[in-house]
């Protein structure tokens, strides 16, 4: 079975929110729309976003760092939001493993929101049904688009290519490779939901430099560093290295 998913590289995500805005733009204009915002400039803005970038401060001052953590529906292989839905509106596709909500069958009871341990459900306050990331299902199969654009909007928009997209069940896919070789991990694996989306951990690049490496061994023009003071006056080799 194919299981489409996103792999997000936390090492290169800079928290620019391009994925958030591109997701909002594509899905507002598409089948999942309109995803209206209320009081966007007010004190308590509300709105529907399928993808949000959470920004965490990790550690205790002064040893802190900022982590940007994009989060959307993780398209769990054993999705807890699916069995709880009373009408079966929330479902997982056999074909590609995408978890979707049938907006015509959703009664807006909100129980899936209770069941999702990742808080990925978004209640559309105007259509009054539950929504969530569709993995741009209305885009990835669109034959009218060039092959290179048949990817989720957030993946295309990411300026640092922090978002990878593919089939995690295909061992040769770019996402499987990334998970395998860069230590891709799932959120809360202990729950057994098997989230399809994975995260690549942040890692520090460390390089040890020895002191002698800071001094140039070859210094043909002797232009760097202070010149030795010559009491006896300049010699020819002081001005040229031949």
Partner 1 sequence: MAKKIALRSIQGNTAGYYLLMAVLGALIALGLGAAYYMEHNGHHVTGMTNQIVWGMPHVFAVFLIVAASGALNVASISSVFNKSLYKPLAPLSGLLAVALLVGGLTVLVLDLGRPDRLIVAMTYYNFKSIFAWNIFLYTGFLGIVAVYLWMMLEKRFNQHSSQVGFVAFVWRLILTTGTGSIFGFLVARQYYDAAIMAPLFILMSFAFGLAIFNIVLAVAFKGTQRPLGDVLVERLRKLLGIFVAAVLFFVAIFHLTNLYATEHHGVEHFILDGDNVYTGLFWVGFMLFGSIIPLVLCLTPSFSKSLGAVLTASVLVIAGGLSQMYIIIIGGQAYPLEIFPGKEVSSSFFDGVVNSYAPSFPEIALGVGGTAFALFIVAFAVKVLHFLPQSLANSEIDPHFSATEAEGENATNAASA
Q: Pick from 110, 159, 171, 201 the residue near partner 1 by CB under 8 A.
A: 110
CB of 101 to partner 1, least distance (A): 11
The residue whose two tokens read 């539950």 is: 130
Contact status: 50 vs partner 1 (CB under 8 A): no
Kindly state whether residue 203 participates in binding partner 1, applying the rule CB under 8 A: no
Site membership for partner 1, residue 10 (CB under 8 A): no
Candidate residues 80, 150, 169, 170; the one interacting with partner 1 per rule CB under 8 A: 80
Nearest approach in angstroms of CB 184 to partner 1 is: 17
Asked if 16 touches partner 1 (CB under 8 A), the answer is no
Tell which one of 10, 12, 16, 115 touches partner 1 (CB under 8 A): 115
Q: Min. distance of Cβ 38 from partner 1 in angstroms?
A: 4
Count CB-CB contacts under 10 A for residue 182.
16
What count of residues does the chain have? 242
Smallest distance from the beta carbon of 16 to partner 1, in angstroms? 13
- Using rule CB under 8 A, residue 106 touches partner 1: yes
Q: Does 135 bind partner 1 (CB under 8 A)?
A: no
- Residue numbers 137-176 binding partner 1 by CB under 8 A: none
Please provide residue 18's backbone torsions phi and psi, each rounded to the nearest 5 degrees.
-65, -35
Six-digit token pair at 83?
Answer: 């069995």
Count of alpha carbons within 13 Å of 71, Cβ hemisphere only?
15
Shortest distance, CB of residue 189 to partner 1, whole angstroms?
11
- Pattern 180-199, binding to partner 1, x per CB under 8 A? -------xx-xx--------
Distance of closest approach, residue 53 Cβ to partner 1, in angstroms: 8
- Chain residues binding partner 1 by CB under 8 A are 38-39, 46, 52-56, 69, 71, 80, 83-89, 104-111, 113-119, 121-123, 125-126, 128-130, 187-188, 190-191
């Amino acid at each position: 079975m194919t299981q489409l998913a996103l792999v997000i590289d936390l090492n290169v995500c800079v928290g620019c929110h391009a994925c958030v805005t591109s997701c909002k733009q594509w899905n507002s204009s598409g089948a999942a729309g309109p995803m209206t915002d209320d009081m966007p400039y007010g004190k308590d803005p509300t709105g529907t976003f399928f993808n949000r970038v959470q920004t965490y401060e990790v550690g205790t001052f002064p040893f802190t760092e900022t982590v940007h953590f994009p989060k959307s529906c993780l398209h769990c292989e054993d999705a807890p939001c699916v069995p709880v839905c009373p009408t079966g509106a929330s479902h997982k596709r056999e074909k590609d493993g995408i978890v979707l909500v049938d907006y015509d069958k959703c009664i807006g009871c909100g129980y899936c929101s209770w069941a999702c341990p990742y808080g990925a459900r978004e209640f559309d306050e105007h259509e009054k049904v539950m929504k969530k990331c569709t993995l741009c299902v209305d885009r990835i199969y669109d034959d009218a688009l060039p092959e290179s654009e048949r990817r989720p909007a957030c993946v295309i928009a990411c300026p640092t290519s922090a978002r990878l997209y593919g089939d995690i069940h295909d061992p040769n896919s770019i996402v499987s490779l990334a998970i395998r070789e860069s230590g891709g991990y799932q959120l809360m694996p202990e729950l057994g939901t098997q989230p399809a989306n994975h995260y690549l951990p942040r890692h520090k690049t460390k390089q040890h430099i020895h002191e002698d490496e800071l001094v140039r061994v070859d210094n043909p023009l002797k232009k760097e560093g202070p010149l030795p003071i010559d009491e006896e006056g300049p010699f020819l080799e002081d001005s040229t290295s031949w």
